[in-house]
Amino acid sequence: MKLIFKYRYEENKYIRICESFKMPYNDIVKKMDYKEYTDYILRNNILNETYLASYIDSSDLSLTEYILKNLNDKDVSYCDIGSQRWEVYIEDKKVDIALIFSEEDDERAYIDREEVAYAMSKWRDFLKREIIDGSYEEIIDTENVYKKEKIEK
């Protein structure tokens, strides 16, 4: 999965945002209702990427550090790491992501724990970075976590 970290200028300041690479937030997305949005992400097989991007985007530095502490602790096999908008649980080697207050039959993303930890660590670094250039963007590929492991072994 690929994610885009970038800045957006709103209300006289820059804010940090995370978007899905395959479905960035744009004028088309703004016009979709929830059903159209869900149908689109399911049809294009990008549920995991869009849910992860939105979950990361809803995480401030404090929450991100709490999430990383639990994701990186191998003794934690189950833990609630949700945000105000997302219901998220560590379930052994997977992370279960769903919209908060979702129904049992609503869509859920199940993502490898290592990929979520990798993306969150990159997000933490992005949140800590001083904003020097408002047009700066960074593309994160969560599959790099597996490439890194192979090189280190």
Instruction: Render pLDDT for 44-56 as a digit per residue (tens, 0 to 9).
Output: 999 999 999 999 9
**Dihedral sign, CA of 43, 46, 50, 55?**
positive
Least confident interval from 4-13, 76-85, 99-108, 111-120:
99-108
Q: Which two tokens stand for residue 56?
A: 């990361």
Q: How far is CA 80 from CA 11, 16, 63, 97, 137, in A?
A: 33, 24, 12, 10, 30
pTM: 0.89
Query: Are the beta carbons of 71 and 116 closer than 8 angstroms?
Result: yes
Average pLDDT on 114-123 reads 97
- The residue type found at 56 is I
- Give the tens place of pLDDT for each residue, 84-104: 999 999 999 999 999 888 777
Average pLDDT on 21-37 reads 78
